[in-house]
Amino acid sequence: MPDTDEGQGRRRAVLRSAADAVIGQVLGGAADPDPQALAEELVAMARGRHLALWSADPATQADLVAGGVAGAVEAAGGDISSFVVHNLGGGDSGGNKLDYYGRRLTTVRVTVGSDAALVEQEIALRNTAPARGLPVYVSGRVTPGIVNALVTLALPADADEVGFSRDGSALPPLPQPEGDHAVVTDVVSIPPGVVVTWRLRYRLPLHDGSYRLSLFPQPVAVDSGLRVELGPAAGITLDGAAGTELADGRLELSGPFEQTTTVRVEARRPGWLARWRDEVSRFWNEPVRLP
């Protein structure tokens, strides 16, 4: 459709008609979908935060929140990772559609001790938009091809020793309250082909050696990437909890960031006998490295 006010109005009308037709078919019963297949698809959409459900009935709403399909982003007393990009447009009222071209990689590194966890969240955002060739309503008129964005990173409300940087340059670490957690923000302009990296570091006090990390993706057309590297502090042994499986006392996740993910571990300090056994096992099983 032509890049004019009339053309864009027609485009929006067509999209609205298509959406209304799909919803009408499903809710009206004409589509006759398989109930189990529909439920599985809706649950997958909710886990990826592409769909959020709400009920005016308090009891039903509580069940939706507990089931993780209400769209809530909560630390729930633990650690949290959530990176959100808000498209600020192209510098005029026309805006742009460049948020589609943002490709993200979230890396969370955690060292868990008996009384605190040291956390580093690293977020890389690349502008993959072509430098030329896009329609004006996509690229923007004033700053064509440049992603202008407000970014928001979540952290626990009780985190301390907070450090925040962009591409190695320190930013003011000024956490602001957001629900049951806190957020830090930054405004950035990213030309085509450029990647910007933020790092958020903090110390999170732990209670009874229990550490839980909730990771929330922003629903996007192309899934972000996710890496989680979690290990113990010196003298500490980690045990997986609530379905979290460790390998040699560590956790490494890597893949598409396509759904909400929760990691739970318990830290313990083994006694001298267990430490002696572990050292003997390491001596006999680890290869000798000669200089």
Based on the fold, state whether residues 26 and 138 are members of the same structural domain.
no
Based on the fold, state whether residues 179 and 255 are members of the same structural domain.
yes
- Does 277 map to a domain? no
CATH number of 220's domain: 2.60.40.3680
Based on the fold, state whether residues 111 and 253 are members of the same structural domain.
yes
Report pLDDT for 37: 79
Average pLDDT, the chain: 87
Based on the fold, state whether residues 59 and 102 are members of the same structural domain.
no
**Assigned token pair, 248:** 């040699």
- Does 45 map to a domain? yes
Based on the fold, state whether residues 51 and 138 are members of the same structural domain.
no
- Does 119 map to a domain? yes
Based on the fold, state whether residues 261 and 178 are members of the same structural domain.
yes
Instruction: For 38, list phi and psi in degrees, rounded to 5.
Output: -65, -45
Based on the fold, state whether residues 97 and 193 are members of the same structural domain.
yes
Query: Residue range 160-170: average pLDDT?
Result: 97
- Does 288 map to a domain? no
Report pLDDT for 191: 96
Based on the fold, state whether residues 105 and 245 are members of the same structural domain.
yes
Based on the fold, state whether residues 102 and 51 are members of the same structural domain.
no
- Does 280 map to a domain? no
**Assigned token pair, 77:** 């007393």
Boundaries of domain holding 10: 5-66
Tens-place pLDDT, residues 75-117: 989 999 999 999 998 766 668 899 999 999 999 999 999 999 9
- Does 246 map to a domain? yes
Q: Using the predicted structure, report yes or no on whether residue 171 has a pLDDT greater than 90.
A: yes
Based on the fold, state whether residues 224 and 175 are members of the same structural domain.
yes
Based on the fold, state whether residues 155 and 247 are members of the same structural domain.
yes
Tens-place pLDDT, residues 118-136: 999 999 999 999 989 998 8
- Does 285 map to a domain? no
Tens-place pLDDT, residues 16-47: 888 888 777 777 766 677 777 777 777 777 77
Q: Using the predicted structure, report yes or no on whether residue 259 has a pLDDT greater than 80.
A: yes
Q: How many domains does the chain have?
A: 2
Based on the fold, state whether residues 146 and 95 are members of the same structural domain.
yes
- Does 287 map to a domain? no
Last residue of a domain, one of 66, 94, 115: 66
